[in-house]
Structure 1
Amino acid sequence: MKVPRPENEAARLAVLQEYKILDTLSEDSFDDLTHLAANICGTPIALVSFIDEERQWFKSKVGIDAAETCRETAFCSYTILQPDILVVADTFTDERFVRNPFVTGDPYIRFYAGAPLLSPNGYALGSLCVVDHVPRTLSQEQLEALQALSRQVVSQMELRRNVMTLTCVTAEHRHAENVLRRYTTQLQQALDFESRLKRITDKVRDNLDESQILQTAVQELAMGLGVSCTAALYDLDAEPSTVCYEYRPTTVARPSHVAQMVDFPELYAQLRQGYYFQFCSIHPRPSQEQVAMLACPIANDQEVLGDLWLVTEQNVAFKDLELRLVQQVANQCAIAIRQARLYQAVQAQVQSLEQLNHLKDDFLNTVSHELRTPVTNMKLAIRMLQLASLDDRYQRYVGILQTECSREIELINDLLDLQRLQTEIGSAVLDEAIALQDWLPTVTESFHARIQEQQQTLQVHLPADMPLLISDRASLTRVVAELLNNACKYTAAGGQIIVDVQCSTDLSANNRSSAPSAIFRVSNEADIPTADLSRVFEKFYRAQNAQLRQQSGTGLGLALIQKLVERLRGTIDVESTGGWTTFTVQLPINPNETPGEATGLRD
């Protein structure tokens, strides 16, 4: 019969390996417990066994000489399948063991009792078992003692593992102490460098002047490391390297000078690729002393801005800590210089935008005064011509003039209104209580004659229980009137126009924060191509539909409506499907109260 394996076999084996107990020498602490188990239970054989992947291995044994057995024939393979003691009073009567080679052959097992060795996290790793050559039973006291001894075996395992861990920790601690002593000086130097780096970073980050940024970095590095230091910025177009600041701890600094990159191609080729380098050189002085030099690029992710040069009068290379400090300072300089240049660019852009705003204001003033006045005079002159006795042909020409003049006035007014809305900050003052049942008929009434003339039909749906809408009456009137005007303009003869007004009061459990809103839907029988829907609110945009483009317009109406709706703290959407186009405007019923306050009032 094949012995089943525990469901957590892989994890159990991993825990067993953690104890590092397999194939170790005998230990008195385990042997004492094994002898004690044999004496208490009165059996000739007692074992501390562990179930490995394919074997049963004995850590301690009394009464047998074997060191291990096959797992498939091990009684303990069954013991680890349960949390309690496994007792087999007579192996001849147990189907699991009656044909076991250790029952039919040496050591002729007739009785077995095994307590599982349970780790603190509940994994059965093996057993403490007692074996006899004759059938028998154990008393309750013997069973409890065997269980207690199995716990002591686990305690010894834990103690053994803790001792090994402590030994390793002690060795590691000694090694750490040696390393700590070895690097104490370097650590202190690193802390000093960290403090200096923070000081440099704080200074350069708060500065928007490139020369001051480089001066701070050069002075701090030179004083901190006891070296000479220079900082240079590149002009990659002309390829010079301009030394902006130089600091020497023992001599007077030289004035700024320009180095041509082409004179030192190998050096600057490496720096321009973002790599540092250091070398020793002969100092150009009569004494011919040797010096060590370190060059580090000042670079960001996009470009190399310049470099830092450090010179020390010692024939030794710069240390790793010193190199890291210089690199980090160079990085901070690059960030600060980029910020300074971005700030300068933003300032220039702000000035440019201010100039453009002034030009725009001047242009609008010109439109307002220089264009509106002559167009108004033209309109008056056209009116005088209409009153004169002219034949039909001239009257038709005068009518064309009047229509085009009205379009120009409409365009000028729309431009001025749109500009005013774009420059106004915040929303409109919304403090008028509007009774929609009284207000809406006054808006639609002005379209009745036009709708009848164009053989269209208008349907208005307005609930009688609509609450008062707190808004701006003039802006709201213009929004609905503009939408109706577009609907009349683009609806063919015989077509329908529908105005539907609803109140949205979604007070569901998952929408308690929503304030009530008024929804205005203006629908008409006309199609807007899908490709045009996302652009209908753009200034001067006209749909590409040939039928729609037959109608005259400024291309500013919907842009004005969108701005007006935003000023009313609402939203506007459009959809076109099935031969119908619907504009939906949603406005808060009372925009001056928070959603929570609105909910509380309704509750």
Structure 2
Amino acid sequence: MPTGEAGRLAELTDLQALQAPLEPTLTAVAQLAASICRTPIALVNLIGEHLQHLKGQIGLDMVVMDRDIAFCPYVICGRELMQVPDTRTDPRFHTDPLVAGDLGIRFYAGVPIISSRGHALGTVAVMDRRPRRLSPPQQAALSALSTCVSALIEQRHYSRQAEQVTRRLQQMDDLKQLFLRNVNHELRTPLTSIRSYLHLIHDEDGLDPATQHRFLEVIERNSDRLLEKLDELLLLASLSAQSVAFAPQSADLVTVAESAVNEAQTKAWHKHHSLTVCAPDPVPAWIDATRLHHALVHLLDNAIKFTPDGGRITVTVSADPVPSVAIHDTGIGIPDDQAERVFDDFYRTPQAETQAIGGIGVGLSIVKKIIDLHGGTVSLTYTPDEGTCVYVRLPAPLAQAAPDFPQ
């Protein structure tokens, strides 16, 4: 094992070098090495924890082999060019499968691939079936090729990172446009309604009290809708800036879940949903009950909106292995490729757009930020024909923080 093995393996992981398939560029390096050194076999070999990964090769029909086999692991330990002029006379290798087996390797020369962090990630190596030595120019060329391989591996890593950043920036720009469009609709619609009804009250003489009362109810309802949207945006801003008040204390998770269900019952009733709670005895938790209640109401609101009329929504509270809440609905579901993005700020699924389901895409983002405040996790799974389940898992409460609930 070379010194700094943990750091070497960590860098290979960071570069994602072992996960990449056999590359034409690295195969071209192997071809050039074989041509310069006049050998039938050449390879670009990255050495992982247990396996050697032949990322570029000429003359071998392998993709991986055990780390214990043959020559390259010695090169990354020595960190300099290693030549074995005649493998049969070298006690390290004369019984190795590549030497004693059908391949009959008699000559090996390899140079370590040294990264910019100073780790030997692998080798550029050549092999022959007859004893021999490389000339000084051939040795220099092999060393130069190993330097090129190191640069290629790192360049590919940085290129991949740049692509990810570019893709993320494009996603953010798309989200910004979607947010502006949704906010324009969600805020302008109630404002237009309020303005219209105010004009009617102002311009129409002799409106009877019942009509005036009905108009005022519409104005009040739209005002509440407008304030709700603005409150959500302000809360999201506070959560993102980590300036929101957060005061966790001992509480019963079942009580918080039941409170959220009670608040959502009216919306569920209008869509003819069954909304039930399955809970054991009190579940001790260390939470900000107000914030968590808000998050669960958002999750229930989503389940109600995305479940066709007459659906079923079940809220299950559990204490094993940690305090958790699962909200399962029989709705339209979210495909796996969108399951992570739904927690991004302002993201709305294509289903929400095509079905004109209201919202500005902040609900699940607020949920995630509230659960993050608690040190918990929130995840989502979808099973075709069964619906969606959202899991909220909270840290187990400290023994001294656990509330003493009556049994």
TM-score by length of 2: 0.48
Over alpha carbons, which structure has the higher Rg? 1
